[in-house]
Structure 1
Amino acid sequence: MNTTLADFPFFPIEFDLHAKQVNPAQQAALLAYLGTARSTDLFVISHGWNNDMSDASRLYQNFFTEVRKELQAARIDLTGRSFAVVGVFWPSKRFTDKDLIPGGAASFDNPQEVLDLMEQLESLRGLNDDPSLDADLDRMKSLAPRLTDESDARDEFTELARKHVPRVSVNTGDEEALPQLFDLSPSEIMDALSVPVVYTGPVNDDGGASGFLESDTSSTDGGAAGLSGFFGGGVVNAARNLLNLTTYYTMKNRAGEIGANALAPVLRTVHQQAPDTRIHLIGHSFGARLVTAAAQALVGNTPLNSMTLYQAAFSHYGFSGDFGKGKPGFFRNVVFPASIQGPLSITHTPNDLAVGIAYPIASMLAGQNASAFGDQNSQYGGLGRNGAQKSDAVIGTLQATSGKYAFEQGRIYNFEASAYIKEHSDICHPETAHLLLSAIAGK
């Protein structure tokens, strides 16, 4: 039996670590409802970095409250359309990003950093279902105070961390492959991740960042004039960077598996049993990867009517026709040939430092020029920061609710969103709702 969300019929569907439905009755309730033909359109939304279902529920409630308000404002002609919502719930973990807060203190291996590392290790319980995980985390916690002074402790810590990174991943393209994590020695990894990275761009009035990251080897005392933020620096912060990278690749793999192997079959069944229902995918953060992986799995057998990605946490080359290696991005076939009949809309902003966390780390391991860390020129850049690169995307700006969009079928649209989206999870606005409803209006 369905509930409601901002007065929309709402159907939660929960998946576990193994891309299995937790409660098959949830899908049955959705199909029974659609069998009554009471909704012409189905929104399917997935969260990203959330530790529990209450975080995701809050995101869905806040977002669709804005959608409901925008519908009531009737600025977009959706005559005869009615809507229901599927909310995807999946087990995800949040990055630790204290060092990316503008104005944060820069420090090297002080006692507080060790305590932060211990807290981060504790938060990783439940990261996967490996029976050795808890024992490994306990061992890493015992090693944490010794990392600065003992190379053996650093080597063991690194080996234990990368032990829990999936080596074989679904939905992984060369644009995000990171063989360095397994090919480099533990000491090489820690050396690379020990390089401090500082935020050198301006900070806007409400604390959002609008610049870029670069490495800084000029200071060893943790301070530098005119710098507004800090990322990494020192052995203990290198360990924290490594754990963030471990979390990133685990969540990346899981989002892809759940999208392709769990959500896609649900949507295929929806189309088979309610073929006239329009399906609109919505993803935030790693949820954008999840719904994109679902779209890819549905190419050729299940038409989708639109896809809107808010601050997506995957490669900005994912939809590329050729990102420099003579081959397309991994998700290129989602748009060419298309499984998405309507527009694919992407919001992006340099205010989103969270999307940039994994990419500077990847760049550090790859030895990439620091001046390109995470920006549109970086090999390791994210959609939520830069939009779709090398993809023939239409370039635009997220508009006010009075604005008009000129969407074409089967095109990619990048919308610079700094005026409204101030950080990674700041996606619940009248303007973001207006974008979604504008994108579906023609489909």
Structure 2
Amino acid sequence: MIGPAEQISIGGGKSADLYLLRFDENGRLKSPQTAELAIQAARSASDVFFFSHGWNNVYADALARYRDFTVGFVAQRSALALPVAVGYRPVLIGVIWPATWFVLDSEEGPDIAGGGASQLGYEQMLAEVVGGMPADQGDELTELLDGQRVLSKESATKAAELVRSALWSADDPDAATEPPDVAAVLSSWQAIAAGGQPFVEEDETIGTVGAGPIVTGPVDEPEQAGWSGLDPRGLLRMGSVWRMKARAGTVGTYGVAPVLARLLETNARIHLAGHSFGARVVLSAVAAQPPSRPAYSMLLLQPAVNRWCFADNVAMTGRVGGYRSVLDRVERPIISTMSSADKPLHEFFHLAVRGDSLGEVKPAAVGDTERYGALGGYGPAGLGPLMREHPLVILTPGTRYDLNGPVRVLAVDGSARDGNAPAISGHGDICNGYTWWALHNLVDPPP
């Protein structure tokens, strides 16, 4: 539809318009008329809240998740009797982009991103990976994997080279990590297989793991000495991560950035929030070009980006993190959530995106969370006095964060127990009182 998708009550008999902007995988804005109306509305707004979801989303889900987050945020304001600034006139803008990440079976669907990740099947995962490859290479990979549940070393090596060359041929822009070679991909693939994703047969013809059922078949060649075979889904899962990382950057840089630039030309305070790979969307948008003025705030919810992305010297390599410039383009300190209960970011991300180790393959580096860990799993690195030495335990609503001082990226740890559960219990658990409260602290600093 053209125009706001919905009006959401903000209390006091007032409402805020929610606009949804759709982008394709190349960052092309698919709803230009709605974008123009949203920008026009921003010109008379006091605040613009700009959200980006993370994964597995459709329009109806996006509308529901953005609505739920806003309704919870507004309800918490009322419950805590937080003051409303005179002239408060918010506009809400949500991004819709084609994001698919095949997270672990144990993860529920994300609150702000839409659910059902664990129901996505092998064929969909294969199609997602192959869709980012040249046709001839995609055909070769499909034929190589079809009907196979375990690959020989020769076939796994060939498959790894096809996926690596097509989907990760340049430095990782998050943390200037050099692309892996085939041996590094195989090492990561083996680590994923050893990290709780073994093949489990349900009957003679169907096996279930990770992304869902797949028809089993024979090992394509006899087991070789020292080689126990690899389930092709480990490689496809890695490939889907690489593809989504690249796509999030493309959408942010070429799609969202021009819209954001125009919003920053208004007088409204701009508040950015991104979940999972959606964090990379908003970070890429801010980093794309020097803005006319800084955005006011940024909330990163379980961000699926490298923890060194803000560093001025990534792991002492002399390289600058891809989002270092963002620190000077957001007025308030950035709040970034993290949780050890987030299994995709705490247990898998660093295996999928480890790259090589300082230019040479070092098997001992597989699983190196210090170098390759996710910001949403392990917190930031390489910021010196611009970060706390240790992440701050996430605060109960009503207890203010201290956002004064030199800290520019405040990692808040949702691993801490709240009763019998973590404050952030999984990758998608980002629509709750703790996250609403973090945003209130950014939007409404104490007098």
Gaps of 5+ in 2: 10-15, 109-119, 202-208, 212-226, 416-421
CA contact (8 A) 1:364 1:370 kept: no
- Return closer, same or farther for 1:32/1:438 CA change in 2, 3 Å cut-off: same
> Match of 2:378?
386
Equivalent position SS for 1:160: helix
Do the aligned partners of 1:170 and 1:257 also contact (CA within 8 Å) in 2?
Answer: no
Distance across 2 between alignment mates of 1:339 and 1:348:
22
Q: Which residue of 2 aligns with 1:292?
A: 283
> Aligned to 1:280, what secondary structure does the other structure show?
strand
Q: CA deviation at 1:331?
A: 1.1
Contact 1:121 1:141 in 2 (8 A): no
Displacement of 1:427 in angstroms is 0.3
Cα separation, partners in 2 of 1:440 and 1:132, compared to 1, 3 Å: farther
What is the rounded CA distance, in whole Å, between the counterparts of 1:139 and 1:75 in structure 2? 61
Q: Give the drift of 1:236.
A: 3.2
Q: Which of 317, 325, 330 in structure 2 is aligned with 1:340?
A: 330
Letter in 2 for 1:401: P
Equivalent in 85, 93, 98 of residue 86 of structure 1: 93
Secondary structure, in 3 states, of the residue corresponding to 1:13? strand
| 1:329 positional shift | 1.7
Partner of 1:396: 392
Q: Residue 20 of structure 1: CA displacement?
A: 0.9
Instruction: Tell me the CA shift for residue 341 of structure 1.
Output: 0.7
Q: Does 43-52 or 311-320 show the bigger shift?
A: 43-52
Residue 26 of structure 1 deviates from its aligned partner by 1.5
Please state if 1:416 is matched with 2:396: no
Corresponding residue for residue 42 of structure 2: 34
* Cα distance in 2, alignment partners of residues 123 and 96 from structure 1: 16
Partner-residue secondary structure (3-state), 2:330: coil
Of the three residues 153, 173, 176, the one matched with 2:175 is: 173
**1-structure distance, mates of 2:142, 2:366:** 36
Taking the TM superposition and a 5 Å limit, the aligned residue runs for 1:30-429 are: 30-35=38-43, 37=44, 39-80=45-86, 81-98=88-105, 118-119=122-123, 121-122=125-126, 124=128, 127-128=131-132, 130-132=134-136, 135-136=139-140, 138-142=142-146, 144-145=148-149, 147-148=150-151, 150-168=152-170, 171-174=173-176, 177-180=177-180, 183-184=181-182, 189-190=185-186, 193-195=189-191, 196-198=193-195, 235-237=229-231, 239-272=232-265, 274=266, 276-323=267-314, 324-335=316-327, 338-355=328-345, 356-363=347-354, 366=357, 373=367, 375=369, 378-391=370-383, 392-394=386-388, 395-408=391-404, 411-418=408-415, 419-429=422-432
Rounded to whole Å, the distance in 2 between the matches of 1:353 and 1:121 is 19
**Does the alignment pair 1:439 with 2:442?**
yes
CA contact (8 A) 1:118 1:141 kept: no
Deviations 1:305-330 (A, max 9, x none): 01000000001111123232133322
Summarize the Cα distance change of 1:311–1:234 in structure 2 as closer, same or farther, 3 Å threshold: farther
Distance 2:60 2:356 in 1: 35
Contact 1:50–1:56 (CA under 8 A) maintained in structure 2: no
CA contact (8 A) 1:117 1:236 kept: no
Alpha carbons of 1:30 and 1:169: their partners in 2 closer, same or farther (altered >3 Å)? Answer: farther
Measure how far apart 1:94 and its partner are: 1.4
Q: Distance in 2 between the 1:403 and 1:384 partners? A: 22
User: In the superposition, relative to structure 1, how do residues 50 and 43 fare at CA in structure 2: closer, same or farther (>3 Å)?
Assistant: same
> 2: CA distance between counterparts of 1:55 and 1:133?
33
Distance, in Å, in 2 between the alignment partners of 1:347 and 1:70 is: 19
Aligned-residue RMSD, C-alpha? 3.4
**Cα distance in structure 2, aligned partners of 1:68 and 1:340:** 23
Candidates 16, 21, 24, aligned match of 2:32: 24
Corresponding residue pairs, total: 387
Q: State the AA in 1 paired with 2:339.
A: T
Structure 2 CA distance for aligned equivalents of residues 26 and 169 of structure 1: 35
Kindly provide the CA deviation profile for residues 264-292 of structure 1, in whole angstroms up to 9, marking residues without a partner as x: 111111222x2x10101101000001101
> 1:317, 1:261 → 2: CA distance?
23
Summarize the Cα distance change of 1:436–1:374 in structure 2 as closer, same or farther, 3 Å threshold: farther
TM-aligned CA deviation for residue 426 of structure 1: 0.5
Distance 1:349 1:137 in 2: 35
Residues 79 and 52 (structure 1), Cα distance of their counterparts in 2 relative to 1, 3 Å cut: same
Describe the shift of the 1:249–1:153 C-alpha distance in structure 2 as closer, same or farther (beyond 3 A): same
TM-score, L = length of structure 1:
0.77
Q: Is the 8 A contact 2:174 2:321 kept in 1?
A: no
Aligned mates of 1:265, 1:220 — CA distance in 2: 45
Distance in 2, Cα, partners of 1:405 & 1:89: 31
Contact 1:122 1:137 in 2 (8 A): no
Paired residue for 2:222?
none
Aligned sequence identity (%): 22
Q: Distance in 1 between matches of 2:18 and 2:178?
A: 39
- What's the CA shift for 1:357? 1.7
**Kept in 1: contact 2:42–2:48 (CA 8 A):** no
- How far the C-alpha of 1:127 sits from its partner, in A, is 4.1
The 1-side partners of 2:268 and 2:133 are apart by 37
CA distance in structure 2 between the partners assigned to 1:27 and 1:129 by the alignment? 31
CA contact (8 A) 1:256 1:289 kept: yes
Who is 2:419 aligned against? none
Alignment-mate amino acid for residue 142 of structure 1: D
Q: Deviation of residue 184 (structure 1)? A: 2.7
